Structure 1
Amino acid sequence: MKFQMHGRVLLLSLLLTGSAAYGADGTPKAAPATATPPPAAQRPGHAGIASANFLATDAGFEVLAKGGNAFDAAVAVASTLSVVEPESSGIGGGFMATLHIAKGNRNVFIDAREMAPMAVNPKDYLNPDGTPNRDTALKGPLSAGIPGEPAGLALLAKRYGRLPLSESLAPAIRIARDGFKPDPRLLASIRDEQKNLERWPASAAKFLPGGKPPVAGETWRDPDQARTWELIAEKGAAGFYRGEVAQKLVDAVHAAGGNWTLQDLANYRAKERTPITIDYRGYQIVTAPPPSSGGVAIAEILNILRGYDLAAMDQAHRVHTIVEAMRRAFRDHNDYLGDPDFVKMPLDMLLSPYYADGLRQSILPDQATPSSMLPHGPAHDPGMHTTHFSIIDKDGNMVGITSTVNYILGSTFVARGTGVLLNDEMDDFALVPDKPNVYGLLGSKANAPAGGKRMLSSMSPSIVIGKDRSAVIGSPGGSTIITQVLEGILHFIDGQSAQQIVADKRYHHQFLPDVVDVEDGAFDAATSATLQKMGYTLKSREGWGFMNVVTWDHRDNKLDAASDPRRPSGLGKVE
């Protein structure tokens, strides 16, 4: 009873203090800039790439060797991952990219998120009793949004690259045509999804050659995907969104009960948006705006944390403070965020340091705040079938791209004659308000499905720029993307190397369920005991995102690239 009363008082304090951040006209007061501006003219003279697959990293360096820049290399890495890591990303999915253009010292964000078809009908995702239909939301063509990756890569190459698109796509086309040996994770993914793949002939033909999953050591080819990338190389985005590929996609989707049209494909555009930029402890953090929820959540958490001296805390109190900030940011994530082209969001409030001041006042120094004291509703375990890569080139251009088909092997539906494995991103909408999606995230009407709308994402590709060091950081991991990238940023600012950052043990809290997911080894026994005394429920969790980081030390002009040791096939490389 004592805590319930205290919680209500604290919640009232939160609301009152948050509202006090606004002037009489209702606009937020600006916070003073504190971060050191990024280095304007410095060039590393060499490049670093970190991705989840060595073939993709090598493809990026192949394109750099042809005279390309970081953005050309990003096209090569992303398209190659589509071939060699289809369980996580690909041509039938989408991505979000945060860019730093060295010339002009500019930051740009590219939104190549998937989009709902115009004929979307929320009733298609409900069972007769009104509960969510997980099959239509996650499997088959009804689960797929209009892909954004081809348009996004074409835009990236045209506006920021140096090479023709055909040069940057050449490695992916060659690997798809000539074949490669799948890594253990892809082989396991195909085995796990075999029954779903068998539901559609083109899916079985691609992933189950001879009627069974490929085995270790076999060479696997994807000539249909090679042909689709060749058309994109020749015609740009039109090679995918118009003409023969578009017709094959629509025909295949309709034959399997989906609702895409040629107009849906023709109308798709990748978009440039203004990234979220905040200052924290002398660093500028450049991160993803909506329809990503990640950048807003990361900014809100860092604004809360700027009021604490984390370095002076023992591990238990540091974790307590960070988890309480996570809890509050995810509560706001659930309530407010959606596609900015459809939803008016209170971003000025959420990103205001004065709003964070109010949230900070509701955090008790030695006690967890039950999420039930910060109103909202049920969820379950997060997942992680996405990919991220980071690049810094010799001129100081930086790019972080997080790409996805959503769940493992996306919808498991391949459109016949294209090699295109469709995403299952429709599940990232709040298909049933206040019911959790596959990652346990709740949503409100702000993220309800509508024709032409982009579903909310957790993807958080981020660039951290400081006087002495800069970094590109990102990770897959479903809803844990946000907290993993946050922890990576904090570790970088604390002075860790790229190798240390990707290897660090992780933890996660997403408001609901009210538990702290913990990687084995993250906390010692004393820390765990202290956190439990504070009121936390700790839950051991396997399976964390495969972070890829490139750092740049401006003091000696040295790059360092590291791929997550949790994924042995990944490669961080500097040349």
Structure 2
Amino acid sequence: MATLLLIASPALYADGGARAPARVATAASAAAHPPGTAIASAHSLSTQAGLEIVRAGGNAFDAAIAVSSTLSVVEPISSGIGGGGFFLLHDAKRNRDIFVDARETAPAAATPAAYLDDKGELNRDRATNGPWSAGIPGLPAALVHLAQNYGKLPLKTSLAPAIRIAREGFEVYPRLEKGYGSRREVMERYRGTREVFLADGSPPKAGEILKQPDLARTLELLGEKGFDGFYRGDVAAKLLASVKQEGGQWRAEELAGYKVREREPLRLKYRAWDIVTAPPPSSGGVALAEILQVLQGWDLSKLDPAHRTHILAEAMRRAYRDRTIYLGDPDFVKMPIKRLTSADYAAGLRATIHPEKATPSDLLSGQPAPLEDDETTHFSIIDGDGNRVAATQTVNLLYGSGLVAPGTGVLLNNEMDDFALRPATPNAFGVMGFEANAPAPGKRMLSSMTPSFLESSDRVVAVGAPGGSRIITQVLLAILAYDAGLQPQQVAAQPRIHHQWMPDAISAEAGALDAATVAKLQAMGHKVNAGESTWGNLQTVMWDKRANTLSGGTDPRNPVGQADVQPNKP
């Protein structure tokens, strides 16, 4: 396989071309509106739930509620209403882009000292498992916010597919079974979790039907009562009781006081593309702005594979260093965003890159960056009016905290590990932080989720991915692939590389770098972890305005994902 699919010529799909791109077309050209709706998500049931709501008269934002809530049912390994997410929206009627921040917030009790053991070291178990690892969930509030402010249908209508699937059940797939096996010891600590995942007396097995009646009822209450259906009343009382029973400390006013934030997205240009992406508390947009502006100094298509990878890695290295030092929750931390995203700053970074030698990171490590391919999920939507959504949601690690609050079906996140709980101590994804990302009551932990829109004179794209700290570089490679002329399915399938400053190494999937390229990179001074397991689960949709076609790409690394289209009614 060719080294990195960042070339203008067509590229093979990673699964050998077996998956055809979802597509709908009309004869029109330079169209003002797409010919239908395209949805790409990590599970076929969630994609179909979104299209069901479109057929019922909903727009992209109603479909987003359906997709998000259904993913919360069928992907507990990755996301859920006990977690949070970011929703990047484009409101076509008002020609406005909006970033909806539904990131979890820190409880008041979650001080840095609460996560240290008696030796002053980070207590990994408390940081990643059980009630202390969980932040106040934001996803339910986001679904209410979308319905009230952007959707056309009642919230209970858009939640109906998820409620039906939770009640009737869905078929367990191998990734769900495997993930449970890796987290079984933690999952089975908690009564509420056992009631869901051991309801028949044994762990979930591929092919079995998993039903979640408590989660169905919680979603019904959300649909009937809106915000109060989750953050106050019966569900809230059960969440608080469960956290307290397991030794944690949440307060009723912290749940009732949760607020979604609307923020101004970051905007940047790369070659012919206008890019709209995630601002803090996501680190993704700032890092993308740094990396892409650094790359403006080279024509990547004219570089050989080794030098192209070298330049990419050096640009990534610098952006991730700045991520570690400067970024956090904008409601708590003053950040030099204007400087970090400026062309002049990028020019200065570019000047420090030696064309033939690797720049050693400030701190060296021989450990490869921890992999994340199952946690977090993403979906992308474009509808027939030109509205679009790129949304990334998560519970953090596999099955989040492992704690399901009895009687709710709600699996709580373990996002507290995304804070710098102990300065300069790497979290589960190998990234560090300092004071800017230290926990404080009500503060949102720094994220790598990077939902993004791309627009050129003839194409409109929504894209995003899961993958922990590797989300940013997946979206980066997708942007470069679209710029090189690849189609959505090819973009989703291309092999990946990654560098995150610490550890000081290039990570590469099998097939991304050939042996000769690896040898040249090593001669430049790079440590290369070639042939790593695959990571990520990129979902993307594209509207070709000249041909007036819609197409979608779903990551072949995830066999249950689906990209599909619904033509406009005549």
Instruction: Give the TM-score normalised by structure 1.
Output: 0.91
CA distance in 2, matches of 1:574, 1:527: 39
Say which SS state the counterpart of residue 344 (structure 1) adopts.
coil
Once the two structures are superposed, the pairs formed by residues 118-197 of structure 1 within 5 Å of their partners are: 118-197=108-187
CA distance in 2, matches of 1:335, 1:40: 45
Asked whether the 8 Å contact 1:331–1:376 carries over to 2, the reply is no
Aligned residue number for residue 459 of structure 1? 449
CA distance in 2, matches of 1:376, 1:523: 22
Aligned residue number for residue 556 of structure 1? 547
Say which SS state the counterpart of residue 507 (structure 2) adopts.
strand
Q: Which string of whole-angstrom CA distances, capped at 9 and with x for unpartnered residues, describes residues 220-254 of structure 1?
A: 10000000000000011111001111111001101
Say which SS state the counterpart of residue 279 (structure 2) adopts.
coil
The aligned amino acid for 1:308 is: W
Once the two structures are superposed, the pairs formed by residues 55-94 of structure 1 within 5 Å of their partners are: 55-94=45-84
Aligned residue number for residue 200 of structure 1? 190
Quick one: which of 534, 552, 567 aligns to 1:543? 534
Deviation at 1:313, TM superposition (A): 1.1
Distance change (3 Å), C-alpha of 1:390 and 1:368: same
Deviation at 1:377, TM superposition (A): 8.7
Say which SS state the counterpart of residue 268 (structure 2) adopts.
strand
Q: Is 1:447 the counterpart of 2:425 in the alignment?
A: no
CA distance in 1, matches of 2:62, 2:199: 33
- Moved beyond 4 Å, runs of 4+: 375-380
Quick one: which of 323, 326, 334 aligns to 2:313? 323
Q: Which string of whole-angstrom CA distances, capped at 9 and with x for unpartnered residues, describes residues 58-97 of structure 1?
A: 0000000001011110100010011000000001000011
Asked whether the 8 Å contact 2:278–2:450 carries over to 1, the reply is yes
Once the two structures are superposed, the pairs formed by residues 192-341 of structure 1 within 5 Å of their partners are: 192-341=182-331
CA distance in 1, matches of 2:495, 2:31: 36
Say which SS state the counterpart of residue 47 (structure 1) adopts.
strand
Deviation at 1:460, TM superposition (A): 0.3
Asked whether the 8 Å contact 2:30–2:548 carries over to 1, the reply is no
Aligned residue number for residue 25 of structure 2? none
Asked whether the 8 Å contact 2:364–2:504 carries over to 1, the reply is no
Asked whether the 8 Å contact 1:57–1:572 carries over to 2, the reply is yes
Q: Which string of whole-angstrom CA distances, capped at 9 and with x for unpartnered residues, describes residues 249-298 of structure 1?
A: 00110111111111000110111000000011021111000000011101
Say which SS state the counterpart of residue 490 (structure 1) adopts.
helix
Once the two structures are superposed, the pairs formed by residues 3-42 of structure 1 within 5 Å of their partners are: 42=32
How many residues are paired up?
A: 535
Asked whether the 8 Å contact 2:462–2:541 carries over to 1, the reply is yes
Quick one: which of 412, 420, 439 aligns to 1:430? 420
The aligned amino acid for 1:142 is: W
Quick one: which of 490, 494, 510 aligns to 2:480? 490
Quick one: which of 551, 565, 569 aligns to 1:574? 565
- For structure 1, list consecutive stretches of 5 or more residues without a partner in the other structure: 1-38
Q: Which string of whole-angstrom CA distances, capped at 9 and with x for unpartnered residues, describes residues 35-75 of structure 1?
A: xxxx9981112111111100000000000000101111010
Aligned residue number for residue 31 of structure 1? none
Deviation at 1:216, TM superposition (A): 2.2
Say which SS state the counterpart of residue 211 (structure 1) adopts.
coil
CA distance in 2, matches of 1:302, 1:207: 44
Asked whether the 8 Å contact 1:379–1:435 carries over to 2, the reply is no
Q: Which string of whole-angstrom CA distances, capped at 9 and with x for unpartnered residues, describes residues 376-418 of structure 1?
A: 9997623321100111111111110000000000000011110
Say which SS state the counterpart of residue 104 (structure 1) adopts.
coil
Quick one: which of 83, 88, 93 aligns to 1:98? 88
Asked whether the 8 Å contact 2:147–2:154 carries over to 1, the reply is yes
Asked whether the 8 Å contact 2:306–2:520 carries over to 1, the reply is yes
Deviation at 1:101, TM superposition (A): 1.4
Asked whether the 8 Å contact 1:60–1:73 carries over to 2, the reply is yes
Quick one: which of 359, 372, 383 aligns to 2:371? 383
CA distance in 1, matches of 2:194, 2:94: 49
Say which SS state the counterpart of residue 445 (structure 2) adopts.
coil
Distance change (3 Å), C-alpha of 1:432 and 1:245: same
Higher RCO (CA < 8 A, seq sep 6+): 2
CA distance in 2, matches of 1:303, 1:572: 31
Asked whether the 8 Å contact 2:240–2:250 carries over to 1, the reply is yes
CA distance in 2, matches of 1:219, 1:203: 17
Say which SS state the counterpart of residue 398 (structure 2) adopts.
coil
CA distance in 2, matches of 1:179, 1:204: 17
CA distance in 2, matches of 1:401, 1:303: 24
CA distance in 1, matches of 2:513, 2:115: 40
- For structure 2, list consecutive stretches of 5 or more residues without a partner in the other structure: 1-28
Deviation at 1:554, TM superposition (A): 0.9
The aligned amino acid for 1:381 is: A
